[in-house]
Structure formats: structure tokens, C-alpha cells
Amino acid sequence: MAKGWLKALAETPSLKEAVTIVGLVDLDRATAEVRAAEFGLADAVIGTDLVAVLSETKADLLFDIVIPAARRSVVAAGLAHGCHVLSEKPMAASLEEARELRALAEQSGRLHAVVQNRRFISGVRRIRRLIEEGTLGELTGLHCDFFLGPHFGGFREQMDNVLLLDMAIHTFDAARFMSGKDPQAVYCHESNPAGSWYRHGASANAIFEFSDGVVFTYRGSWCAEGAPTSWESAWRITGTKGSLVWDGADRFEANVVAGEDGFFRPIEPAAVPEVASEADTHGHASVIESFISAIRAGTKPETDGSDNIKSLAMVFGAIDSARDRKRVTIAA
């Protein structure tokens, strides 16, 4: 993941101008040295102790790209040294830790935001505009399928609740963002299917209750071979006037009711609007640009922790529901 972030910084002109990498930290020093050489960071301080490198470099920003179990200590160290912090997802390893990090950010007067890079893709932005413009009428439901079979190796294959905690947050956050609604409750069933190469929780099915009576359903698996969906899921979005289907890539189909007669009412195609700004569709680069713009303007970025904790609450609500086999109220 660090390589992806460094690539975004190196290949995006505005970021290349705005950000200078002054230090790289890894528990394995050799890993940091390889990245420094790969991206021409000869002047960067290399170390295995985050606090020591922060003290030496007096950095303004900390890019937190660690496994979830290490997130709390890394973010806390960055905030304590006066850094604004941009973290990989998930925001924290528990909802309690997320609330603690929110409090630390408020106390420090610094930003702590999360890389929800899949908000910053064209399809998600276009669907949000379609819903906001009322083309489908009053929104009633969002339904998605996520079926892939990635063989990562490493820490993911040993995680608890691997699909919900490490991946589903992207989809949950997209549903929140596209709908403009808040999560209120969830019922979830989690399993680890036969043949799974993950230790725990590679599959989940969840029903979320959103505000204003909107329902969001999620069907997902990370050990589903043979008929993969997009990483962005395959979506069906319904409203009082029509529906939209999105394959998670380039294919959209939107239809709205075009008459008041017939057993099935006649329908006609509806245009899916283009994105308002192409600058918002470049994944990691757009998230980092948004983060830096917010620092300069003294505002909160779109993926600030104060917003992202709602998506994290969906994740832990689903995990609690699956464990206890009951409907769980969601409270960020």
C-alpha cells in the first residue's frame, strides 16, 4: 500500500509540488530503504522508530499505512507531534479506538482523515449526482453484490472478520456517500465457506436500515472463484420513479417510469450525469489532494474521521450482529 501512495504522490503534479517526503518508517528498515531507492528519496530519513523520525524531521503530515492493529498508536504519535494524519482504512481496530482517535484529533487541533479512495471514482460520483438530482424519484434501496477470490497471503488471511473489516468498509462507505443517508441498524450473517483460504469470515450477507426508510443490502465473499464482480461491487439502486444498474465498471443502465397504464408500467432510459469535477475521480491522489486542500483552507476533508466513523460503525455493527445473531442498532 505504501508503494501505491508514493506512486500517487510522484505522478500527480499538484501533489509532487505540495508534498516533500522527509522520512520513511518501517519495522523492517530494509523495506523502507527499498521504497526510498525506488522513488528517488535519497534525502529522506529512514528509521524503524516512528517517534524518533517525527522528532528529527519535524514533519507536518503523517501518512499512516499500517495494519489495523497498529493504527491507534501510529495516529496518536502523529497527532502528538503536531502532524495532520491521513490513514489507510479502516479508521481503527475498534469503534472505541476510533472514538479515542477522534478525541485526540480534536484536542490536537489537527486533522485525522481516512483514505476511502473508492469514493473518488467516476461511477460513485455519477450515481450520487443521479440520486441528488431526483432522477429515480425518492430513493428506496441500494443493493450490491461483491464476489471475488483474491489470494493475498500475509496478514489478511489470518484476520478475524476479514471481509467485513478489511474490504466491506469501501462498499459500506460508498452506499452512505451515494445515498446521502445515515446508517441506523443492521442484521448480518457471516461465514467462512468450505474451501476458504482465509482463517475467518470470508463471506457476509447484511441488511442495513438507513435513514428515511432506505434499505441497503450487501452480499459478499472473498473466496468466490469463477465469476468475479468488479472491486466496486455490482449495484442495483431503486427509487419511486425508476432504477439504476451499475456493474461497478463502465456499464450503467437507468430506466424511469414513462406512463401510468399497464400491468408493468412503460419505462424509458434515463441519462446518468457525468461527474461534476474530473479532479474527484483519481482514487488515492484525489483523497490526498482533498486532504491537503482542507488543511490549507482550515476545513474538514470529505473523509475526515468525524464522517468516516459512521462507515466504521457499520462494519462493527455488522460484526456484532453476526456474532450475536441479532439486529444491532448502529451508533457512531
Structural domain for 264, as ranges = 118-277+310-329
Domain co-membership, 219 together with 242: yes
In the predicted structure, residue 18 carries a pLDDT above the cut 70: yes
Q: Give pLDDT tens digits for 169-180.
A: 999 999 999 999
Domain co-membership, 132 together with 254: yes
Total domains in the fold of the chain: 2
pLDDT recorded at residue 54: 98
Domain co-membership, 136 together with 103: no
pLDDT recorded at residue 167: 93
Task: Specify if 167 maps to a domain.
Answer: yes
Q: Whole-angstrom distance between the N-terminal and C-terminal Cα of the chain?
A: 27
Higher-confidence position of 66 and 279: 66
Q: Give pLDDT tens digits for 228-261.
A: 999 999 999 999 999 999 999 999 999 999 999 9
Residue percentage of the chain with pLDDT more than 70: 99
Task: Specify if 299 maps to a domain.
Answer: no
pLDDT recorded at residue 279: 63
Task: Specify if 304 maps to a domain.
Answer: no
Of 54, 81, 114, the last residue of a domain is: 114
Task: Specify if 284 maps to a domain.
Answer: no
Domain co-membership, 95 together with 168: no
Q: Give pLDDT tens digits for 262-317.
A: 999 999 999 999 987 776 677 788 999 999 999 999 999 999 999 999 999 999 99
CATH label of the domain that carries residue 42: 3.40.50.720
How far apart are the C-alpha atoms of 144 and 219, rounded to whole Å?
Answer: 6
Domain co-membership, 144 together with 262: yes
Of 114, 140, 171, the last residue of a domain is: 114
Global confidence as pTM? 0.91
Beta bridge partners of 268: 256
Task: Specify if 66 maps to a domain.
Answer: yes
CATH label of the domain that carries residue 322: 3.30.360.10
Average pLDDT, the chain: 95
Domain co-membership, 95 together with 160: no
Which is it for strands 267-269 and 215-221: parallel, antiparallel or unpaired? unpaired
Helix %, strand %, coil % of the chain (to 5): 40, 20, 35
Task: Specify if 128 maps to a domain.
Answer: yes
Domain co-membership, 52 together with 171: no
Task: Specify if 179 maps to a domain.
Answer: yes
pLDDT recorded at residue 284: 85
How far apart are the C-alpha atoms of 204 and 9, rounded to whole Å?
Answer: 35
pLDDT recorded at residue 277: 73
Q: How much is the CA Rg of the chain, to the nearest whole Å?
A: 21
Task: Specify if 138 maps to a domain.
Answer: yes
Q: H/E element holding 185?
A: strand 183-191
Q: Give pLDDT tens digits for 87-133.
A: 999 999 999 999 999 999 999 999 999 999 888 899 999 999 999 99
Query: Dmax of the chain from CA atoms?
Result: 73
